[in-house]
C-alpha cells in the first residue's frame, strides 16, 4: 500500500490566505503521515524553481501539478515531471488567463493550453466545494482520473456507487512555517511503486483506493497518531473521566460538517421552557408544510395587497366634485371645453392574465407525459391542440384590441391636456369605475377566503418514528403570537385590534416596521403542531426529549459525521434499544457514527463495527488520554504505541460493572425466569 497526497499548496496566491512556505514543515508532514508520494498543486500557478528545490530536499517522489479554476470549479492537473519546461510554460499561460481570484477559464481554453489531457492525472473537486458541474464533467470525462471528496462519508458514497468517479481524499494543506498539526486526509493506493503510470492506473480503479492501510475501506485515519475509526458505527467506552467526551470534542474540532449531540443537550430542566423550545423547534422543522398549506392564501394576499379602498373612495369624491364643478361652470364653457373629447373617458382595457393562465393550463395538459393515458381517456390530444390554437387566436384578437385601446387612450389624454390648457373650464377628473367596483369585489372575496382559512381544522397527520405529528390551522390569539412569529421588535397590538377584519388587518400589517410584503400572508392563519404518543395523547416532557433525539439523529444524515455523547444519561433502555439503536444502525451504513456510552444496551446490543476504549494516564505530571481500539471480535484492544488491553475485561468493566456484577445479575434473571 502506498500513501499519497496530491493536493498540497506551497505558494500563497490571490486565492489563498497569506502564508509563508516551509520545506522543514513539509518534511515533517511527510514523516508524520508516512507519505510515499506527493504533488505540489498551487492555485493557477506553478513555480519551477521552487518545485526543483522541493524535489531535491524531500525524501519521496514529488510530482509537479497545478490547481486550476475551470468554469467555477477547481481541477487538479498533475504531470509526470519528465518535461518540466513544457509543463511550466503551460502553467504560465494559465496564470495569465486567470489574473484575479474571480476569474476562471473554459474547458475549451484548458484543452487548448494542455493539448492532450490524457497525458496527465486530472482530478476535479467532486464531492467538495467548489465542485465540478455536470456539463464540465461531461466535457472532460475521457480525461478525468478520479474525483476529490471532502469527507470519509463522501468517499464511501462514491466507492459504493460504480456510476460515480473513483474518490480520493487529500489534505488541501498550506505548508506554512506556523503549521503545528498535520492533516490526516490522504489516500492509500494498492500498488507496488509510485511511478506516475502506476499511480494513474490505480486512481482509475475503485478497488485500488482506500482510506486506510488495511485496504478494506472499513476504517479511516482519524487522529494524528494514526488512530483509526470505522466508516460505520464506532462505540467509545471507558471509566468516568477517562477521556471519552474529550475524544468526541477532538473529533468535532478536527472535522467539518459534524453533528454533535452532547450529553443532556436535548433535556430541558424547566418544563415550561422545554415546551416552549420544543414547539419552536417543531414549527421551524415543519415550516415548509406551513408555507405549502398557505400558498393559495399567499396568492390571494398578493392579489389584494395593492388595493386601497380609501384611495378609491377619495377618487370617487374627487370625480363627483369635479363633475358638479364642470356643470356649474357652464357659462365658462367655450369651443375647447364643449368639445366631446374634453370630457371623454378612457377605454376600459381588459386584463389578459386569465386567458394566459388558461392557455398555460391547456399547454400543460398537452405536454404531460405522466398522466397522458388518463387525460386522453377523457379529452383527445387533437381536441386539446385545437383548443389551444383557438385560445391563442382569441388572445391575439384581444391583444390587438388592447393595444388599439391603449393607443387611443394615450391620444385622448394628449388631446384633453391640450384642450385643458386653452380653456378656463374645469374638466371632470378621470376615474376607472370598473376598477373601483372590482376592488370592492376583491376585498369581499378576500375577507371570505381568510375567514375560511382561519377555521380550526386538522391539515396534516403523519407518523415519525412511532410518534404522530398533527398540524392544525386556526386563529392567532394575541399580538404576542404575531410578534413571536415575526422575530421583530415592532409592536403588533395596533394591527391585532383589526384581526377580525382581514382587509383592515392587512392595511395595519403593511405599516409594521420590518415586515416584508411577501411574508404578510403568514400572519392571518396560525399553524399549530402537536406530537402525539402511541396512545394518541400529547407527549410528556420525557417523550418530547425522545422525539427530539430521534429527529436530531435523523437530521444528521445531511452531515458528514454523527457524534453522540452518552444518550443513556437521558433515556431508558427500552427506548434506546427499540428506537435509537435501529435508526443509528441505518445511518451508520452511510456515514461514520461515534457514540460514547457506558451502557450495555447501546454499547453491546447495537452491535458496533469498531470498539474504542479511553484510559486516563498521568505521565511526568501531565494527564494524557490514551486510546485503545479493535473490532468487536478482537481478543485485545491495541493502542498506537503498542500497549494492550483484554477486550473482555474492558467491556465487562465499562458496560456491565465487571464480570462478578454481570454474573450476579445473570443469576438473578435466571432465578426470576425459573
b/e sequence 435-451, b meaning 16+ C-beta within 10 Å: ebeebeebbeebbebbe
571: pLDDT confidence band, cut at 50, 70 and 90?
low
Angle (CA) 70 72 74, round 5° = 55
Give dist(CA 546, CA 568) in Å, integer.
11
Q: In this predicted structure, which of 65-79, 142-156, 482-496 has the lowest mean pLDDT?
A: 482-496
Give dist(CA 125, CA 67) in Å, integer.
10
Radius of gyration of the chain (CA): 36
Other CB atoms closer than 10 Å to residue 118's CB: what's the count? 11
Give dist(CA 245, CA 563) in Å, integer.
10
The answer to whether domain 2-221 has CATH 3.20.20.140 is yes
Mean of the per-residue pLDDT values for the chain?
85
Q: Encode pLDDT of 68-126 as tens digits.
A: 999 999 999 999 999 999 999 999 999 999 999 889 999 999 999 999 999 999 999 99
Residue 442's alpha-carbon distances to 302, 435, 448, in angstroms, are 12, 10, 10
User: 8 Cβ partners below 8 Å, 6+ apart?
Assistant: 26, 38, 39, 40, 41, 170, 171, 173, 175
Query: What secondary structure does DSSP assign to 336-399, as a single string?
Result: TTTSGGGGPPPPPPPP-HHHHHHHHHHHHHHH--TTHHHHHHHS-HHHHHHHHHHHHHHHHHHH
Assess contact for 636 and 647: CB atoms under 8 A: yes
* Residue with more model confidence, 595 or 620: 595
| CATH (residue range 233-257+559-673) | 3.40.50
pTM > 0.95: yes or no: no
156: pLDDT confidence band, cut at 50, 70 and 90?
very high
Q: What DSSP element (H or E) covers 659?
A: helix 659-673
Please report, for the chain, the start and end positions of each structural domain, with discontinuous segments joined by +: 2-221, 233-257+559-673, 274-303+449-532, 330-425
166: pLDDT confidence band, cut at 50, 70 and 90?
very high
* Residue with more model confidence, 465 or 15: 15
Residue 274 has pLDDT above 60, yes or no: no
| Grid coordinates belonging to 151 | 469527507
The pLDDT value recorded for residue 598 is: 72
Nearest Cα to 59, choosing from 37, 75, 42? 37
Assess contact for 493 and 469: CB atoms under 8 A: no
* 103 three-class SS: coil
Give dist(CA 50, CA 241) in Å, integer.
49
Q: Encode pLDDT of 421-441 as tens digits.
A: 776 666 677 777 888 898 999
578: pLDDT confidence band, cut at 50, 70 and 90?
low
Residue 130 preceded by cis peptide, ω within 30:
yes
* Residue with more model confidence, 264 or 290: 290
Pairing of strands 593-596, 561-565: parallel
Residue 576 has pLDDT above 80, yes or no: no
The pLDDT value recorded for residue 642 is: 87
Class of residue 69 by CB neighbours under 10 A (exposed 0-12, middle 13-18, buried 19+): buried
Residue range 149-158: mean pLDDT, rounded: 94
Q: Encode pLDDT of 372-426 as tens digits.
A: 889 988 999 899 999 999 999 999 999 998 899 889 888 888 887 777 777 666 6
Class of residue 380 by CB neighbours under 10 A (exposed 0-12, middle 13-18, buried 19+): exposed
Residue range 167-185: mean pLDDT, rounded: 93
Assess contact for 485 and 495: CB atoms under 8 A: no
Residue range 606-629: mean pLDDT, rounded: 85
**Cell 497518531 belongs to which residue?**
225
Q: Encode pLDDT of 523-547 as tens digits.
A: 999 888 888 877 888 877 777 777 7
The pLDDT value recorded for residue 134 is: 93
Residue 635 has pLDDT above 70, yes or no: yes
Q: Encode pLDDT of 347-363 as tens digits.
A: 877 778 888 989 999 99
CA terminus-to-terminus distance, the chain: 56
Task: Note the residue count of the chain.
Answer: 674
Residue 303's alpha-carbon distances to 296, 357, 598, in angstroms, are 11, 15, 60
Assess contact for 224 and 184: CB atoms under 8 A: yes
Amino acid at each position: 500500500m502506498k500513501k499519497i497526497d496530491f493536493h498540497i499548496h506551497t505558494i500563497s496566491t490571490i486565492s489563498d490566505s497569506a502564508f509563508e512556505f516551509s520545506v522543514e514543515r513539509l518534511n515533517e508532514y511527510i514523516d508524520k503521515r508516512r507519505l510515499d508520494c506527493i504533488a505540489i498543486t498551487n492555485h493557477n500557478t506553478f513555480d519551477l524553481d521552487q518545485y526543483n528545490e522541493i524535489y531535491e530536499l524531500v525524501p519521496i517522489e514529488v510530482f509537479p501539478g497545478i490547481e486550476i479554476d475551470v468554469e467555477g470549479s477547481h481541477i487538479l492537473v498533475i504531470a509526470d515531471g519528465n518535461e518540466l519546461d513544457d509543463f511550466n510554460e503551460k502553467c504560465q499561460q494559465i496564470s495569465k488567463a486567470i489574473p484575479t481570484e474571480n476569474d476562471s477559464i473554459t474547458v475549451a481554453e484548458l484543452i487548448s493550453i494542455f493539448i492532450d489531457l490524457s497525458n496527465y492525472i486530472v482530478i476535479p473537486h467532486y464531492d467538495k466545494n467548489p465542485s465540478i458541474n455536470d456539463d464540465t464533467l461531461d466535457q472532460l470525462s475521457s480525461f478525468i482520473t478520479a474525483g476529490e471528496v471532502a469527507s470519509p462519508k463522501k468517499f464511501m458514497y462514491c466507492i459504493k456507487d460504480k456510476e460515480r468517479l473513483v474518490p480520493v481524499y487529500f489534505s488541501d494543506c498550506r505548508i506554512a512555517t506556523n503549521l503545528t498539526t498535520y492533516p490526516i486526509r490522504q489516500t492509500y493506493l494498492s500498488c507496488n511503486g509510485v511511478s506516475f503510470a502506476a499511480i494513474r492506473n490505480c486512481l482509475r480503479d475503485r478497488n485500488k483506493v482506500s482510506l486506510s492501510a488495511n485496504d478494506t475501506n472499513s476504517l479511516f485515519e482519524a487522529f494524528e497518531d494514526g488512530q483509526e475509526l470505522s466508516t460505520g458505527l464506532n462505540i467509545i467506552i471507558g471509566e468516568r473521566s477517562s477521556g471519552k467526551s474529550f475524544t468526541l470534542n477532538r473529533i468535532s474540532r478536527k472535522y467539518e460538517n459534524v453533528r454533535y449531540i452532547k450529553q443532556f443537550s436535548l433535556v430541558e430542566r424547566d418544563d415550561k421552557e422545554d415546551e416552549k423550545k420544543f414547539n419552536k423547534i417543531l414549527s421551524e422543522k415543519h415550516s415548509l408544510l406551513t408555507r405549502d398549506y398557505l400558498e393559495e392564501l399567499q396568492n390571494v394576499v398578493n392579489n389584494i395587497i395593492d388595493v386601497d379602498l380609501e384611495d378609491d373612495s377619495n377618487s370617487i369624491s374627487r370625480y363627483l366634485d369635479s363633475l358638479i364643478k364642470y356643470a356649474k361652470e357652464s357659462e365658462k364653457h367655450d369651443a375647447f371645453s364643449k368639445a366631446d373629447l374634453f370630457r371623454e373617458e378612457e377605454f376600459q382595457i381588459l386584463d389578459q392574465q386569465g386567458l394566459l393562465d388558461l392557455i398555460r393550463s391547456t399547454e400543460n395538459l398537452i405536454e404531460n407525459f405522466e398522466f397522458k393515458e388518463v387525460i386522453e381517456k377523457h379529452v383527445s390530444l387533437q381536441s386539446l391542440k385545437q383548443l389551444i390554437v383557438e385560445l391563442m387566436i382569441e388572445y391575439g384578437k384581444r391583444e390587438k384590441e388592447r393595444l388599439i385601446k391603449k393607443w387611443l387612450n394615450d391620444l385622448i389624454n394628449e388631446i384633453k391636456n391640450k384642450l385643458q390648457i386653452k380653456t378656463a373650464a374645469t374638466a371632470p377628473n378621470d376615474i376607472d369605475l370598473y376598477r373601483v367596483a372590482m376592488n370592492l369585489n376583491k376585498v369581499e372575496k378576500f375577507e371570505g377566503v381568510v375567514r375560511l382559512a382561519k377555521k380550526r381544522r386538522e391539515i396534516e397527520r403523519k407518523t415519525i418514528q412511532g410518534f404522530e405529528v398533527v398540524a392544525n390551522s386556526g386563529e392567532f390569539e394575541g399580538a404576542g403570537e404575531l410578534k413571536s412569529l415575526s422575530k421583530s421588535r415592532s409592536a403588533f397590538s395596533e394591527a391585532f385590534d383589526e384581526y377580525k377584519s382581514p382587509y383592515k388587518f392587512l392595511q395595519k400589517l403593511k405599516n409594521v416596521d420590518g415586515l416584508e410584503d411577501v411574508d404578510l400572508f403568514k400572519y392571518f392563519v396560525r399553524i399549530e403542531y402537536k406530537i402525539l404518543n402511541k396512545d394518541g395523547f400529547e407527549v410528556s416532557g420525557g417523550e418530547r426529549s425522545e422525539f427530539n433525539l430521534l429527529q436530531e439523529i435523523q437530521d444528521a444524515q445531511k452531515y458528514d459525521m454523527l457524534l453522540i455523547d452518552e444518550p443513556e444519561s437521558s433515556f431508558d433502555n427500552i427506548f434506546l434499544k427499540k428506537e435509537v439503536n435501529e435508526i443509528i444502525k441505518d445511518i451508520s451504513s452511510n456515514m461514520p457514527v461515534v457514540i460514547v456510552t457506558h451502557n450495555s444496551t447501546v454499547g453491546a446490543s447495537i452491535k458496533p463495527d469498531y470498539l474504542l476504549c479511553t484510559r486516563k494516564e498521568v505521565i511526568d505530571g501531565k494527564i494524557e488520554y490514551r486510546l485503545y481500539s479493535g473490532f468487536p471480535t478482537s481478543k485485545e484492544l491495541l493502542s498506537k504505541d503498542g500497549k494492550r488491553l483484554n477486550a473482555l475485561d474492558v467491556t465487562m468493566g465499562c458496560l456491565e460493572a465487571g464480570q462478578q456484577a454481570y454474573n450476579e445479575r445473570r443469576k438473578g434473571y435466571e432465578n426470576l425466569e425459573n
